[in-house]
């Protein structure tokens, strides 16, 4: 499968994506734990069906030392025993923040309060920004049919 559009090639999209990717890099440098970031990015991408982002975040997480068991169980995190309570809170927030149209009420107070018990305000802000960032990245990749499978760890850093 070939991509419909090379988003980095055109002057307008290339300039905008340079700034967009800088946001992603800034989030990587946030106090939100790196493992949590990759799990959230992977889960949002699974929900949205973004193969390119699933490919990228699975490989990035594995390269950073994430276990295959945890990566395989992200889609079923509620039933899995391999995630911390803090990670579960982040995944719940990521799911409700991604499925806005399904819930019609956005992120519930219960999910927000659970996340706030595990993350300080700066980490929560990073988590919210990450969920929003990933949803945007997923949509860009899906609309332009970006292929998956060829991602190399560190490719966009």
User: 32 pLDDT exceeds 90?
Assistant: yes
For 38-60, what is each residue's pLDDT tens digit? 999 999 999 999 999 999 999 99
Judged against a pLDDT cut of 80, whether residue 8 lies above it is answered with no
Residue 123, C-beta contacts closer than 8 angstroms, at least 6 positions apart:
30, 31, 32
The answer to whether residue 126 scores a pLDDT higher than 80 is: yes
- Segments making up each domain of the chain, as ranges: 31-143
- Burial of 13 from C-beta contacts in 10 A (0-12 / 13-18 / 19+): middle
Q: Please state, in angstroms and rounded to a whole number, the distance separating the CA atoms of residues 145 and 129.
A: 24
Task: Evaluate if pTM is beyond 0.75.
Answer: yes
pLDDT for residue 7: 80
> Which band of pLDDT confidence, cut at 50, 70 and 90, is reported for residue 109?
very high
Do residues 50 and 141 touch, judged by C-beta distance below 8 A?
yes
Contact 110, 14 (CB under 8 A): no
Give me the CATH topology for the region 31-143.
AhpD-like (1.20.1290)
DSSP type of residue 9: T
């Amino acid at each position: 499968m070939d991509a419909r559009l090379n988003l980095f090639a055109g002057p307008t999209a290339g300039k905008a994506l340079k700034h967009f990717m800088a946001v992603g890099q800034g989030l990587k440098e946030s106090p939100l734990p790196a493992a949590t970031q990759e799990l959230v990015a992977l889960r949002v991408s699974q929900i949205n069906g973004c193969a390119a982002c699933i490919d990228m975040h699975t490989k990035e997480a594995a390269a950073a030392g994430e276990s295959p068991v945890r990566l395989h169980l992200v889609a079923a995190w509620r039933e899995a025993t391999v995630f911390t309570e803090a990670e579960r809170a982040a995944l719940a927030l990521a799911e409700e923040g991604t499925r806005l149209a399904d819930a019609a009420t956005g992120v519930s107070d219960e999910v927000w309060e659970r996340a706030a018990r595990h993350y300080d305000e700066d980490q929560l802000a990073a988590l919210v920004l990450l969920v929003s960032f990933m949803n945007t990245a997923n949509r860009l990749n899906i609309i332009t049919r970006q292929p998956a499978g060829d991602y190399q760890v560190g490719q966009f850093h």
